[in-house]
Amino acid sequence: MTVHVASVGMGRFGKRTEGLIDLAAEAANLALEGVGRKPIDLVVVGSMLAEGPHGREALLPRLAGRLGLESASGFRVDSSSGTGGMAFHAAVLALETGRYERALVVAAEKMTDRSTAEITKELSAALHSSEVAAGATMPGLAALVTQRYLAAHRVSLHAVDLAAVHARAMAVRNPNAQFQKAVTVEEVAASRPVALPLRLLHCSAISDGAAAVVLEKGAGPASVLGLGQGLDALRLVDREELTTFAATRSAARRAYEAAHLTRKEVEVLEVHDAFSPFLLIHLEDLGFCGPGEGAKWFEKGWVGLDGRLPVNPSGGVIGRGHPIAATGLTSIAEVALQLRGEAGAHAVARAPKVGLAQTVSGIAAHNFVTILGRSAA
Amino acid sequence: MIPEPSTLELTRCASCHLRFLPNDGPCPRCGSRDCTIYAASSMGRVLAATELQYPASGWHAPHPLALVELEDAVRVLAIEEGSLPEVGTLVRVRRDGALYRARAPTPE
């Protein structure tokens, strides 16, 4: 059964005064307006940090109540930074059973009301407890992966700086992006160290925000052509390889197989660059180039709106901001906007027929690949 | 001065023969629980090292962490005790409760 993205809703990402439910409802209402408020019989919501000291439990019934959707069924999912991807996949799988007609998928996060130390601690839930006990954080482990990647493939950090510059340049065209100012390669290279070789401008920012889509049965310009997930060892030291993410490779293989497509047919890409070097690794893991060759894409400028393959025209996670759970759904929603011709100033130059979104949980322990495109009913 | 131990306890899976850092669960490759602890060399080479300017709570910045590959091809995330090592540096790893610590070996 074919399912398609019938509408998309997103508000601005960044520091927002509204609370979690307000942000989720804003995105959801935009998506519901997009389908003329047709009846919704399934609501899937995702948030990683909803619990805690702020009394945001019962996210699903609270949001459903705000939206007047108490008659729908629903469930809530959580896979840390992959939550948005998981929410989308869960809703598609539910619609494909034939049990539901139309689903609202919402993923939201409220982060800026907590200190960086609190957020760092809460995000560590996505890491292995032994890593956190040793003092590791998400950027710390990402720095080790990056250093290994650069050394193994003799890649210059300059290419990673270029990936950060690319993200911020794209974000300037996206009115919802947190960062509306481009940065130079010199500014990236001079930004303060977080965990070298990673510097501040290589790392995604704490952000508030939400994304929503309405999924319907039937075909459209943004039909779901293929879904794939992949898991990997949570503890970094247990992984067979450190310079590639097996969870992306298996997710991509499954999604390409399901879609009966190869990477050659993908015309726009939204990937999870929580850290700039991961952009290079993702290009390799998704099959667009060999190990260590991701750097070339940024050095040659093949990733712009009119490039060989536009990558993260929305600004990606670095440019948009990283409201953890919302990010994965935002990437999918951005691909849908491109396919539906609704991307506005950040539309890619050649209208794409097939796009791919990739989402990462933690340090790539559970990744999701979603391929959208036009399909026959 | 207490001599640094020359061995470190690692785990070997009897089913797929994978050697791995002790954990609370089964073999990370094949899921077998038929695993035994053995004494391996505590020497290894640094695969990557960094100083965290914002470490996990309970630690002070800068917090040096190294990813070390032991001679038995098992990797370990260790807190570096000396100056931050270059990639490829030879270090000795010791267990400290639930943690691992690494430093350049003391000259004989």
Specify the CATH number of the domain B7-103: 2.40.50.840
What is the pLDDT at residue A50? 72
Parse chain A into domains and list their residue ranges. 3-115+207-215
B49-57: average pLDDT: 95
**Among candidates A136, A148, A198 on the partner chain, residue whose Cβ is nearest the Cβ of B65:** A136
CA distance A130 to A82: 21
Q: What is the architecture, at CATH level 2, of domain A3-115+207-215? A: 3-Layer(aba) Sandwich (3.40)
Taking phi first (over 0 means left), then psi (-120 to 50 degrees means alpha), and beta for anything else, what does residue A286 get? alpha
Which among A216, A178, A205 has a CA at the least distance from the CA of A14? A178
Crossing angle of helices A276-285 and A138-153, in 10° steps, is 60
CA distance A143 to A135: 13
**AA letter at B82:** G
Angle at the Cα of A32 from the Cα atoms of A31 and A36, rounded to 5 degrees: 120
A377 pLDDT more than 50: no
Nearest CA in chain B to A192: B53
B55-74: average pLDDT: 96
Q: If pLDDT is split at 50, 70 and 90, which confidence band does B1 have?
A: low
Residues B51/B41, Cβ–Cβ less than 8 Å: no
Question: Which chain A residues have a beta carbon less than 8 Å from that of B58?
Answer: 135
Q: Which residues of B touch A (CB under 8 A)?
A: 20-21, 23, 28, 47-59, 63, 65, 67, 74-79, 87, 98-100
What is the pLDDT at residue B5? 73
B7-22: average pLDDT: 95
The CA distance from A136 to the nearest CA of chain B, in Å, is 6
CA distance A75 to A73: 7
A305-330: average pLDDT: 97
pLDDT digits (tens, 9 = 90+) for A216-275: 999 999 999 999 999 999 999 999 999 999 999 999 999 999 999 999 999 999 999 999
Mean pLDDT score across all residues of chain B: 92
A375 pLDDT more than 80: no
A171-185: average pLDDT: 98
A159-185: average pLDDT: 98
What is the pLDDT at residue B55? 95
What is the pLDDT at residue A125? 86
| C-alpha torsion A131→A136→A142→A143, nearest 10 | -130
What is the pLDDT at residue A46? 95
Residues A76/A108, Cβ–Cβ less than 8 Å: no
pLDDT digits (tens, 9 = 90+) for A274-311: 999 999 999 999 999 999 999 999 999 999 999 999 99
The CA distance from B99 to the nearest CA of chain A, in Å, is 6
B3 pLDDT more than 80: no
| C-alpha torsion A39→A44→A49→A52, nearest 10 | 80
Cβ–Cβ contact A135 with B under 8 A: yes
Mean pLDDT score across all residues of chain A: 95
Q: If pLDDT is split at 50, 70 and 90, which confidence band does A376 have?
A: low
* Contact call for A135 and B76, based on CB within 8 A: no
Parse chain B into domains and list their residue ranges. 7-103
A52 pLDDT more than 90: no
- Give the burial class of B14: count Cβ atoms within 10 A of its Cβ; 0-12 exposed, 13-18 middle, 19 or more buried: exposed
In the sheet with A354-361, reading across from the earlier edge strand, the strands are: A73-77, A42-46, A102-109, A209-217, A3-10, A223-231, A366-373, A354-361, A268-270
What is the pLDDT at residue B25? 84
What is the pLDDT at residue A231? 96
Question: Which chain A residues have a beta carbon less than 8 Å from that of B56?
Answer: 120-121, 124, 132-137
CA distance A168 to A165: 5
Question: Which chain A residues have a beta carbon less than 8 Å from that of B51?
Answer: 193, 195-196
What is the pLDDT at residue A279? 97
**Among candidates B50, B54, B74 on the partner chain, residue whose Cβ is nearest the Cβ of A196:** B50
pLDDT digits (tens, 9 = 90+) for A181-229: 999 999 999 999 999 999 999 999 999 999 999 999 999 999 999 999 9
CA distance A154 to A151: 5
A330 pLDDT more than 50: yes
**AA letter at A247:** A
Cβ–Cβ contact A154 with B under 8 A: no
pTM of the model: 0.96
- The ipTM (two decimal places) reads 0.94
SS3 per residue for chain B: CCCCCCEEEEEEECCCCCEECCCCCCCCCCCCCCEEEEEEECEEEEEEEEEECCCCCCCCCCEEEEEEEECCCCEEEEEECCCCCCCCCEEEEEEECCEEEEECCCCC
What is the pLDDT at residue A5? 98
Instruction: Give the rounded percent of residues in chain A with a pLDDT score beyond 90.
Output: 92
